[in-house]
Amino acid sequence: MFFARGLFLAGIVWVLAGHPVIAQEAPLETSAHRAAVVYAGPGDSYRQLAVLRAGNAVQIIERNNIGNWLHVQEKDRNGFVKLDGWVMMGYLNHPAELRFSRLPVNTELADADLSTVRSRSLAALYAAPVISPISEAMREVYALGQQLGNHSDVVTKVGDSLTFNPMYLEPMSDARYDLGPYDYLEDALLYFGPSTAGGSAAARMALATYVIFDPMWADKTLCQPDEPPLDCEYRRKQPSVAFILFGPNDARHTTREKYTEQMDKIVSETLNRGIIPVLSTFSAHPDETYWQQSIELNLGLLDVAARYDVPLINLWAAARALPDYGLDIDKVHMKNSGFTYLKFSTGHESWYGTSLRNLLTLKMLDEIYHKIILEADS
């Protein structure tokens, strides 16, 4: 039986990602609202231990660095632990008093257990953390951006229809937000959220890496004559951060080499403007025609992120545990929850790909806010 090492210790203060975290006096109790697979760690690549039945009471011991996976324990009538492992947040009822700012974070377990992954290419994808560390180089990029007049509290998005989706990023501007237990993300939301309204000139249907520099693809109502979509968006917004995801369209029309070549150009242009580029892998369905090419492009993206030392969201890995990998019926686009504002109090991040992506995006913004912007201001 798996036992995580992190336990609640009354009165101990944990400092994580710039946040002081005061441990709760005792583990909170909750229950599963539906049957949930229990894993040996915070990810679907870990060994499956058992199934937690709906209605069964458990104690919440700790969380992963994001909060979408919780370490729980189920005890028998005598108080002995009979089940100990990790479940996705969305399968549990949320106690009103649950606040992730007060819940210890497990820092020992990786996001994936590579020993269970037989494919070399898939193991390489799983190996990348869901939320990459912020490099020292990004502090220099941010400083350059401030010299160039970029707005520290402005963020934008660049990509194809997955990113054009109004349910991605833009809901952060809605004041009706409901973070649920993810209270530690509120500072970043309040700082960046207002800038996310209105979409992006560099995100539209059918866009791909090989046309992002083509003025023919620019919105003529927003962009200047002969101005490519990427240049247009960066000129209009002057953001400090850009979330970039390309892939599904490229998988149908280009090679890994061409894809990485174009991503190199996008990242270089972004860095030269003093904008922090946050790259993202994309979810893919094994039954989809371009599954293997999607894996190749995602691997190429990891190379680009490593080459430039830029932040990376491994959406591909995070979405593996979701129903249909977080994808809609077409097996390409991410599934929406139907809410036009952020709503994490009902576990949507465990069921809908777009909700998960919004959570990971906000988590990355939280990292940038505390490790770059606040430090620069101080």
Residues 108 and 138 in one domain: no
Residues 130 and 21 in one domain: no
Where are the extended beta strands (E) located within the chain?
Answer: 13-16, 19-22, 28-31, 36-39, 48-52, 57-63, 69-75, 81-88, 155-159, 241-245, 276-280, 312-313
Asked if pLDDT for residue 10 goes beyond 60, the answer is: no
Asked if 99 and 247 sit in the same domain, the reply is no
Instruction: Write down the pLDDT at residue 4.
Output: 37
Do 66 and 204 share a structural domain? no
Distance of CA 7 to the CA centre of its chain: 26
Give 24 or 49, the one with higher predicted confidence: 49
CATH (domain of 23): 2.30.30.40
Q: Residue 1 domain-assigned?
A: no
**CA gap 355, 343 in Å, rounded:** 8
Alpha helices per DSSP H over 106-135: 120-127
Which one has a higher pLDDT value, 96 or 327?
327
Residue 377 confidence (pLDDT): 83
> Which domain-ending residue is among 76, 94, 116?
116
Domain of 307, in residue numbers:
120-377
Q: Where in 310-350 does DSSP place strands (E)?
A: 312-313
Query: Residue 108, by phi and psi: left (phi above 0), alpha (psi -120 to 50) or beta?
Result: alpha
- Find tokens 């913004």 and name the residue: 365
**296 and 205 in a common domain:** yes
Integer CA distances (angstroms), 137 to 145, 302, 340, in order: 13, 17, 35
Residues 6 or more apart whose Cβ sits within 8 Å of residue 149? 238
Please check whether residues 31 and 61 belong to one and the same domain. Answer: yes
Q: Are residues 224 and 90 both part of a single domain? A: no
Last residue of a domain, one of 51, 82, 116: 116
CATH number of the domain bearing residue 193: 3.40.50.1110
Q: Is residue 6 part of a domain?
A: no
Least confident of 17-21, 58-62, 97-101, 343-347: 17-21
Shared-domain flag, residues 219 and 323: yes
**Is residue 145 in a domain?**
yes
pLDDT band, very low/low/confident/very high, at 15 (cuts 50, 70, 90): very low
Res. 12: pLDDT tops 50? no
* pLDDT score for 73: 98
Q: What share of the chain is helix, strand, coil (3-state, %, to 5)?
A: 40, 20, 45
Q: What is the mean pLDDT of the chain?
A: 94
In a domain, 8, yes or no: no
| Domain shared by 45 and 157, yes or no | no
Residues 314, 333: Cα–Cα separation, whole Å: 16
pLDDT at 7 over 50: no
Q: 24 pLDDT exceeds 60?
A: no
Structural domain contains residue 265: yes
pLDDT digits (tens, 9 = 90+) for 83-93: 999 999 999 99
The Cα–Cα gap between 165 and 72 comes to 35
Task: Kindly state whether residue 5 falls inside one of the protein's structural domains.
Answer: no
Closest CA to 43 of 122, 141, 149: 122
pTM: 0.93
- When divided into structural domains, the chain yields a total of 2
Residues 6+ apart with CB under 8 A from 286: none
Give the pLDDT confidence score for residue 27 in this predicted structure: 87
Question: Quick one: pLDDT at residue 25?
Answer: 56
81 and 230 assigned to the same domain? no
Same domain, 212 and 104: no
Residues 51 and 148 in one domain: no
What confidence score (pLDDT) does residue 378 get? 77
Identity of the amino acid at 239 = P
Asked which of 49, 81, 116 is the last residue of a domain, the reply is 116
Are 328 and 165 a contacting pair, CB within 8 Å? no
Tokens of 161: 């229809």
Percentage with pLDDT > 70 across the chain? 93
Give the three-state DSSP class for 70. Answer: strand
